[in-house]
C-alpha cells in the first residue's frame, strides 16, 4: 500500500481545499497519472500517482486538507491484473455521453456554483459532453426532479463524506458558498493594498499605429521563425523595462521603514483564469528578446489556466502589467500588486479622431493608466515614466536603441 499525500507547495502554504478528484474510488491508476486538484490561497496544483494500482479515496471534494495529509491509498498489488481489463472498458465509456466525459473549466465552475450534478444533465456537446450551456439550462428548468435519483449510484459505494463546501440554494434565486482560498486571498491582498499604500493613478493615451503596422509587417516571418505570434504585450514589456531604467524610483518598494531599490527587471503579466487573477513573473525581461517574452507569457498563461502554475512563478516581480483591454475595458484604475510600487493598465484599442500636424485623422488609440504608490513615487516621476512608455510605443524604433 502506498499513501497519497498532499505535497508541500511552499513555506507559506499549510493547507488547501481538495477541489476535484480526477479518479473515482476503486479505479486503477498508473504512475504519473493526475489524481486530484488542490486549491490553495495562492495556486491550484495537481497531485499525481507515485505508483500504479487500485486507489481508495480517503478525503472528500471540498474538504480542507493539510500538507502531508493522506487523502488516498493505492494498492499496488491490485494494479497489474486490473490494468488490461480496464482498457476496453475505457473505450466503451468514451462512447457513452454524459458525466464520464471531462467538463470544461467553465462548465466545472457552473456545476460547483449551482450544485447541479453533471451526471443528471444530458450533454449536447461533442460526443455527448456536458457543456456550460447545458448546466445553465438545467438550473433554469426546475423539473430537475430526477436529480435526486442520480446520486443514488454514488451512495451505493460511499467512500467519503459529502463535500462541506457545496453551494447552498436560497429559494432558487441565488446560491451561497464559501470563497475559494484563492479568491479569499485575492480579496485580502486588494483590500490590504488599498489600506496600506497611497495609491494614485495617472493617465495617458497612445497611438498604436506604428506598433500595429510593424506587427502586421513582421507577423508571418516572426511566427515562422520563432513558433509564436508577435503580440502587443512584448512591446509593452520592453517599453516598461526601458522606462524603469530611465526612472529608477518606480523600480523601488517600501519594506517597513526601508526603501529597497531594485536593479533587475522581472515583470509580472496578469492572467485571468477560471479561479481568479494570477500574475506570473517573466524574469530578466531586459535580457529577453521579443520572442523570448512572447514564449514566456504564452507558457505561463497555459500553466495558469491548466492549474499547473507554481509558487515560484508568481513571486519576485518588480512591476505588473494588466491588460483589461482584451475583455473590452476602455479605462480603469488598476490596484497595486504589493509590495510593488506601480502597475500599468492597458485598455481596448479604438479608432478615434485625433489632430496630427493640424489635420483631423483617424488613429487606433489606447488609454494607459499607471497606478503608483505615492509614498515611493512622486507625481513627476510617474508622469515621466508613462510618457517614456507612450514614446516607445508610438515610435518602436526607440526600443532598439534604448531611447
Mapped onto helix, strand or coil, the DSSP state of residue 11 is coil
378 is catalytic: yes
Pair 173, 341: CB distance under 8 Å: no
Whether 374 is catalytic is yes
Catalytic residue among 3, 284, 306, 374: 374
Between CA 328 and CA 35 the distance in angstroms is 37
Backbone angles phi, psi at 388, to 5 degrees: -60, -45
**Is there a contact between 318 and 177 (Cβ–Cβ < 8 Å)?**
no
Question: In 3-state terms, the chain is what percent helix, strand and coil (to 5)?
Answer: 35, 25, 35
DSSP SS3 for 202: strand
Phi then psi for residue 296, to 5 deg, are: -60, -45
DSSP state of 151: T
Can you spell out the DSSP letters for 210-271? HHHHHHHHHHHHHHHHHSS---HHHHHHHHHHHHHHH-GGGGEEEETTEEEEP-S--EEE-E
Q: DSSP 3-state assignment of 372?
A: strand
Of 221, 284, 312, 378, the active-site residue reads 378
E-strand stretches of 270-392: 271-273, 276-278, 281-282, 319-323, 342-356, 359-373
Catalytic residues: 374, 378
Amino acid at each position: 500500500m502506498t499513501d497519497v499525500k498532499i505535497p508541500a507547495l511552499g513555506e507559506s502554504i499549510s493547507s488547501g481545499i481538495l477541489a476535484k478528484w480526477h479518479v473515482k474510488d476503486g479505479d486503477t491508476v498508473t504512475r504519473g497519472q493526475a489524481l486530484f486538484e488542490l486549491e490553495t490561497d495562492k495556486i491550484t496544483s495537481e497531485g499525481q500517482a507515485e505508483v500504479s494500482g487500485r486507489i481508495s479515496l480517503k478525503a472528500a471534494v471540498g474538504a480542507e486538507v493539510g500538507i502531508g495529509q493522506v487523502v488516498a491509498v493505492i494498492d499496488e498489488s491490485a494494479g497489474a491484473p486490473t490494468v488490461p481489463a480496464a482498457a476496453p472498458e475505457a473505450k466503451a465509456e468514451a462512447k457513452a455521453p454524459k458525466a464520464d466525459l471531462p467538463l470544461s473549466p467553465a462548465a466545472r465552475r457552473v456545476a460547483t456554483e449551482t450544485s447541479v450534478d453533471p451526471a443528471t444533465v444530458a450533454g449536447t456537446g461533442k460526443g455527448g459532453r456536458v457543456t456550460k450551456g447545458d448546466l445553465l439550462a438545467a438550473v433554469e428548468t426546475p423539473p430537475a426532479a430526477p436529480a435526486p435519483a442520480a446520486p443514488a449510484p454514488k451512495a451505493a459505494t460511499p467512500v467519503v463524506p459529502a463535500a462541506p463546501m457545496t453551494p447552498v440554494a436560497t429559494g432558487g434565486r441565488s446560491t451561497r458558498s464559501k470563497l475559494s482560498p484563492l479568491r479569499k486571498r485575492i480579496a485580502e491582498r486588494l483590500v490590504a493594498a488599498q489600506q496600506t499604500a497611497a495609491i494614485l493613478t495617472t493617465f495617458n493615451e497612445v497611438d498604436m499605429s506604428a506598433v500595429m503596422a510593424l506587427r502586421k509587417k513582421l507577423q508571418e516571418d516572426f511566427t515562422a521563425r520563432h513558433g509564436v505570434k508577435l503580440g502587443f504585450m512584448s512591446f509593452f514589456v520592453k517599453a516598461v523595462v526601458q522606462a524603469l531604467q530611465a526612472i529608477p524610483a518606480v523600480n523601488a518598494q517600501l519594506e517597513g521603514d526601508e526603501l529597497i531599490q531594485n536593479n533587475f527587471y522581472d515583470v509580472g503579466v496578469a492572467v485571468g483564469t477560471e479561479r481568479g487573477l494570477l500574475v506570473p513573473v517573466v524574469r530578466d525581461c531586459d535580457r529577453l528578446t521579443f520572442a523570448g517574452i512572447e514564449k514566456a507569457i504564452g507558457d505561463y498563461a497555459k500553466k495558469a489556466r491548466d492549474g499547473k502554475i507554481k509558487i515560484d512563478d508568481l513571486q519576485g516581480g518588480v512591476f505588473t502589467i494588466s491588460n483589461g483591454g482584451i475583455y473590452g475595458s476602455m479605462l480603469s484604475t488598476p490596484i497595486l500588486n504589493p509590495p510593488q510600487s506601480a502597475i500599468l493598465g492597458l485598455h481596448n484599442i479604438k479608432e478615434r479622431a485625433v489632430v496630427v500636424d493640424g489635420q483631423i485623422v483617424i488613429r487606433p488609440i489606447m488609454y494607459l493608466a499607471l497606478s503608483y504608490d505615492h509614498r515611493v513615487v512622486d507625481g513627476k516621476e510617474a508622469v515621466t515614466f508613462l510618457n517614456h512608455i507612450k514614446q516607445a510605443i508610438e515610435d518602436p524604433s526607440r526600443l532598439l536603441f534604448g531611447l
